[in-house]
Amino acid sequence: MNDAPIRFPTESEIPSTMHIDKERLSMRWLVGGELRTWPGEGADVLSPVCVAKADGKLERVVVGRTPNLDSKAALEALEAAKRAWDGGRGDWPTMRVARRIGAMERFAEAMAKAREEMVRLLMWEIGKTRKDAETEFDRTLLYVRDTIEALKDLDRQSSRFVLEEGFLGQIRRSPLGVVMCMGPFNYPLNETFTTLIPALIMGNTVVCKLPKYGALLHAPLFEAMRDCFPPGAINVITGDGPTTVGPIMESGDVDVLAFIGTSKVGNTLKRQHPRPNRLRCITGLESKNPAIVLPDADLDVAVRECVSGALSFNGQRCTAIKLVFVHRSVEGAFVERLASAVDALKAGMPWEPGVTLTPLPEDNKPERLAALIADATARGARVVNRGGQRLGTFLRAAVVYPVTPEMALYAEEQFGPVVPVAAFDDEREIDQFMQKSAYGQQVALFGRDRKKMAFLVDALVNQVSRINLNSQCRRGPDTFPFTGRKDSGEGTLSVSDALRAFSIRAVVAAASNEDNKALVSDIVVGRMSSFLSTDFIF
Ligand code: G3H
C-alpha cells in the first residue's frame, strides 16, 4: 500500500487545462505608462506543484520568470508615480470623479477577460484549488465594481454645498499622494487589489510591489493598467523587498503605505520613512484567531466550521482559526470528530476536483511546520489524526492536542495546515490568552447558552475586531469592516472604508456673502473646477 501523503503528477499527467504562456508573461514590469521587459536578473517562479521524475525525484515546476529589479529601477517607478501626482496637480489626481470611474470601468472590463489565465496562474503560483482561485478572482472583480458604486455614492453626497454659521462650503474627499502598495502571497490578487483599487480610484498614484509568490498572475493585466490609466498613475515592480522597497521608503516620498504581510516587515518599512508623521499606514498583519468551543456547543457545527476555518487554503489565511480552545467537558468527543473530519479532506493537485489540501508555496514551509509540531510533541502533545507526514512541498494537515502555553503553537501564527487544540476549564484562561496575545483580529465562539454567549461577546469585543458566532472567522462580506488590534493591523478596510482610508477631506469655504455666492456659482455653472462642482454621477 502506498502511504505517501499526496501523489505528485508526472509531466504528462498535467492536464492541458493548466497550460499558460510563460514567455508572454515573464520578466515584465510597468513604469511610467510603459510596459517593459527587464533585461537584468530574474527569478524563476517555482510552483508549489512538483512533478515526479522518472527516477522518483520531485521537482518544483517552473511557471515563468519575474524581474529582480534593482534599486535604480524601483526608484524610477517612484519617480513616475511622483510625476503623475505632480504635487497634486497631475492629470489623474485632478481628473473629475466621473472620468476616473470611467477609467476603472474600462479596467474592470479588461480584467473580466483575463479570468481563466489568472485563475490558472493562481493555481500554479500558490497552489490554490481551482474553486478557491475562481472565488478569489470573482470576489476581486466584484470588489472593483462595488468600489466604483461606493465612490459614486460618496461623490453624490459631496456634490452639494453646505451652508453653516454664515459660511458656504463644499466638502470632498481628496487623494493623499503617492501610495506604496504591497499585497501578500495568500491572496495575491484580492488583497493587493483591495488596497490598490481604492487608492487609485481616489486619485492617488501608486507603486505596487508584487509578492514573491503570486507575482506572475498580475502580468495579464499590465496592458489594461497601461491603457486605462494615465502614465505613471500605476507602476508595478517585482524583486527583493529590501532592494526595491527599501530605497522607495527611505526617499520619504511615499505618502501612504498599504501593506498586507507580517508585522516584522511592516515595522521595518515604517521605520525606513524619514518623516513617519507624514506616512499614513493601512496594514493587515498576522493573527492568532482562536475558536472557543463551549460545553453546550453544537459539535457538528463547531467541527465543520473549525475544519473549514482552520484549513481552507491549507490554513494560509490571516483570518484562519489558528488555535481551538475546547471545554474540558467535551474535549474527547470534539477532538475525535475533528481528527476524523480532517482525515477525510482530500489532498491533491489544485486542478483535481474535490481537493482541499494542496502543496505549499513558501520555501521550506513543511519543514518549519514540522518543527512546530515537533516542539509541541516534545512538550507532551500528540498528533491525533493521520497528519504531519511530509512529501516535497506538502504537509498532511495535522491536529495537535493538547496544546499548552509553553508550546510555540499556542502563541505563534503557524499560517499552514496545523490545527492546535487546547482544553480549558475556565473562561479566564481564554481571557488570559487574549490579553497576552500579540494579536487581536477575530474570534469564533461556539455555544448556545444566551447568557454565556452575551458575557463572552462583551468580554472579547474590546480585544478583537470581529466576533463570529457559531461560524468560522472570515473577512467577508467585503462591505463589513475588516481590521485588527495590536499586531494584527492598522486602519480599516471594506469597500467604503477603503475609499476613506486612501483620501482626506478637503473643504473649500467662503463667507456666505453675495460676492462669494456669485463667485462660486460662476465657477460651478461654467464648469471651471473639478472640485467645485455639483455634478451628479448616475
Ligand atoms: O488572509 C486574509 C484574508 O483577508 C482572509 O480573507 O477570510 O475571506 O479568507 P477570507
With b for 16 or more beta-carbon neighbours within 10 A and e for fewer, the 21-55 pattern comes to: eeeebbbbbbbbbeeeebeeebbebbbbbbbbeee
Q: Which of 187, 189, 415, 488 to mutate to test the pocket of ligand 1 (most atoms within 8 A of CB)?
A: 187
Q: What is the pLDDT of residue 194?
A: 97
Q: What is the pLDDT of residue 380?
A: 98
Q: What is the grid cell recorded at 126?
A: 500558490
Q: What is the grid cell recorded at 527?
A: 464648469
Task: Please report, as a single letter, which amino acid is at residue 515.
Answer: D
Q: Which of 406, 416, 466 is nearest to 441 (CA)?
A: 466
CA 315 – ligand 1 centroid, Å:
10
Question: How far, in Å, CA of 434 to CA of 428, rounded?
Answer: 10
Give per-residue pLDDT as tens, 479-530: 999 999 999 999 999 999 999 999 999 999 999 999 999 999 999 999 999 9
Question: How far, in Å, CA of 424 to CA of 85, rounded?
Answer: 55
Ligand 1 lined by 318 (C-beta under 6 Å): yes
Ligand 1 lined by 186 (C-beta under 6 Å): yes
The 3-state secondary structure of 36-101 reads EECCCCEEEEEEEEEEECCCCCEEEEEEEEEECCCHHHHHHHHHHHHHHHHHHCCHHHHCCHHHHH
Alpha carbon dihedral 321, 322, 328, 334, in 10-degree steps, equals 60
The DSSP-derived string for 270-304 is HHH-S-GGG-EEEEE----EEEEE-TT--HHHHHH
Q: What is the pLDDT of residue 1?
A: 42
- 270, 279 in Cβ contact below 8 A? yes
Ligand 1 lined by 476 (C-beta under 6 Å): yes
Question: How far, in Å, CA of 48 to CA of 350, rounded?
Answer: 10
The 3-state secondary structure of 415-471 reads CCCEEEEEEECCHHHHHHHHHHCCEECEEEEECCCHHHHHHHHHHHCCCCCEEEECC
Ligand 1 lined by 474 (C-beta under 6 Å): yes
Cis omega (within 30 of 0) on the bond before 67?
no
Ligand 1 lined by 320 (C-beta under 6 Å): no
- 168, 516 in Cβ contact below 8 A? yes
Nearest CA to ligand 1 atom 6: 475
Q: What is the grid cell recorded at 515?
A: 460676492
CA 299 – ligand 1 centroid, Å:
24
- 383, 399 in Cβ contact below 8 A? yes
Give per-residue pLDDT as tens, 330-388: 999 999 999 999 999 999 999 999 999 999 999 999 999 999 999 999 999 999 999 99
Largest separation between any pair of C-alpha atoms in the chain: 91
CA 402 – ligand 1 centroid, Å:
27
Map residue 482 onto helix, strand or coil: strand
pTM of the predicted model over 0.95: yes
Ligand 1 lined by 187 (C-beta under 6 Å): yes
Atom of ligand 1 nearest to the CA of 184: 1
Ligand 1 lined by 475 (C-beta under 6 Å): yes
Ligand 1 lined by 465 (C-beta under 6 Å): no
- Calculate Rg over the CA atoms of the chain: 25
Atom of ligand 1 nearest to the CA of 139: 8
CA 308 – ligand 1 centroid, Å:
12
Question: How far, in Å, CA of 205 to CA of 78, rounded?
Answer: 10
Q: What is the grid cell recorded at 181?
A: 502598495
CA 10 – ligand 1 centroid, Å:
32
Ligand 1 lined by 218 (C-beta under 6 Å): no
Nearest CA to ligand 1 atom 7: 474
Q: Which of 358, 261, 345, 373 is nearest to 313 (CA)?
A: 358
Question: How far, in Å, CA of 503 to CA of 202, rounded?
Answer: 7
Q: Which of 149, 206, 151, 150 is nearest to 183 (CA)?
A: 206
Q: Which residues of the chain are modeled with pLDDT < 70?
A: 1-2
The count of other CB atoms within 10 Å of the CB of residue 370 is: 17
Ligand 1 lined by 319 (C-beta under 6 Å): yes
Q: What is the pLDDT of residue 2?
A: 56
How is residue 492 annotated by DSSP? Answer: -
Question: Between 450-460 and 427-436, two packed helices, what is the crossing angle to 10 degrees?
Answer: 20
Helices (H), 344-380: 365-378
Q: Which of 305, 311, 318, 493 to mutate to test the pocket of ligand 1 (most atoms within 8 A of CB)?
A: 318
